[in-house]
């Protein structure tokens, strides 16, 4: 299946919202449901922009054209950070974005996207599918007239692009830094001046010096945005976002109005995209990083151990506050996440770390 054909499938999820609206009746009458899909990304931005189009195409294709999804990039119909409200209110039928953007509505949203020192991409999906996460995800989004599905993941994100080297946790105090989600709260506790902005704005801020450092996604997307041109120090590991899930959320009425088979189409389009998107990110991150180091003068650096420890302690404070949140649902989401993380904590180092460490050994392999 071609990538562009796959992307069209994403629009299926939004169909239900339209059906319940005045626009839905004529669409249903012609045996075709037309959905508007709004996104938080520039059109075809490597990574999330491409994944959004893949989802729109896949929903359309898997539905046999019964759902026709038209994608609107950030700013074309609504601003990138306005997609949540647009779909909640029925202006569009579905959106493609990340849960990390909705913390101002409830801190509970943030755990479904990424957690500092939290779940990897496969664990994140495992929590949703097998650890009770999806029921809590549905319950939170239902408050806002939305039906959500995870539909991709960037994998481990980088710690970010820095104009100067970092030698200790003290160097981070007062640092003007772009990040989002729970990572922003962790960084704030470390004394960093956190700023929220899109990728293009982050480039301009780094270029003019109004931003000292920032993280966006990872090598594939970041190289396309040109961050290496203005900040050569690229730090790992990205403990703030060990993975970052992408989501599709549909207007609840639009989704409910779908016949059962099309509801399954939407759900399958999202779930089937998760691994395709994640593995594409991983493959292209590796290629892009190698090229930036070889051709663009990028210097890959490891965060000092004391910085990682300080970040971990700050992250622990953030999670502790979520456990004491006034919202009972936020507490339940947090406890469910922690239970799943604990279940993975002993097994994954044996299974995954053992394999990765083995590859670093001096073995004559082919």
Q: Cβ–Cβ contacts within 10 Å for residue 295, how many? A: 9
Alpha helical stretches, state H, the chain:
3-7, 15-19, 24-29, 48-62, 83-89, 121-130, 133-142, 181-189, 199-208, 219-225, 252-256, 260-295, 305-323, 328-345, 347-348, 354-359
State the binding site for substrate: 157, 178, 215, 241
State the binding site for Na(+): 216
CA distance 125 to 274: 8
Question: What single string gives the DSSP state of each residue in 158-189?
Answer: P-EEESS---SGGGGTT-EEE--HHHHHHHHH
Cα 240 to chain centroid, rounded: 12
State the binding site: 157, 178, 215-216, 241
Tokens in use for 318? 């953030």
CA distance 100 to 217: 12
């Amino acid at each position: 299946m071609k990538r562009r054909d796959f992307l069209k499938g994403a629009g299926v999820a939004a169909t239900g919202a339209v059906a319940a609206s005045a626009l839905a009746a004529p669409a249903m009458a012609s045996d075709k449901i037309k959905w508007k899909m709004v996104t938080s990304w520039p059109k075809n931005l490597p990574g999330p922009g491409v994944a959004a189009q893949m989802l729109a195409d896949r929903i359309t294709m898997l539905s046999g054209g019964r759902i026709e999804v038209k994608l609107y990039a950030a700013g074309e119909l609504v601003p990138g950070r306005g997609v949540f409200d647009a779909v909640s209110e029925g202006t569009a039928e579905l959106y493609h974005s990340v849960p990390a953007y909705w913390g101002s509505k409830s801190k509970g949203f943030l755990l479904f996207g990424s957690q500092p020192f939290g779940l990897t991409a496969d664990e994140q999906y495992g929590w949703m599918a097998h650890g009770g996460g999806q029921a809590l995800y549905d319950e939170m989004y239902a408050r806002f007239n939305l039906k959500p599905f995870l539909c991709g993941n960037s994998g481990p994100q980088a710690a970010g692009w820095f104009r100067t080297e970092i030698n200790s946790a003290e160097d981070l105090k007062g640092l003007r830094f772009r990040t989002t989600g729970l990572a922003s709260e962790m960084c704030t506790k470390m004394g960093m001046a956190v700023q929220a902005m899109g990728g293009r704005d982050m480039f301009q801020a780094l270029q003019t010096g109004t931003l000292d450092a920032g993280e966006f996604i990872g090598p594939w997307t970041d190289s396309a945005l040109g961050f290496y041109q203005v900040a050569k120090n690229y730090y790992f590991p990205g403990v703030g976002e060990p993975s970052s899930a992408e989501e599709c959320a549909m207007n609840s009425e639009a989704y409910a109005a779908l016949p059962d088979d099309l509801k399954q189409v939407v759900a399958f389009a999202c779930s089937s995209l998760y691994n395709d998107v994640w593995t594409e990110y991983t493959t292209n991150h590796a290629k892009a990083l190698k090229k930036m180091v070889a051709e663009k003068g990028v210097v890959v650096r490891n965060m000092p151990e004391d910085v990682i420890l300080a970040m971990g302690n700050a992250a622990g404070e953030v999670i502790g506050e979520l456990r004491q949140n006034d919202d009972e649902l936020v507490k339940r989401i947090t406890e469910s996440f922690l239970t799943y993380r604990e279940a993975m904590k002993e097994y994954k180092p044996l299974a995954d770390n053992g394999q990765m460490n083995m590859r670093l050994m001096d073995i004559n392999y082919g």
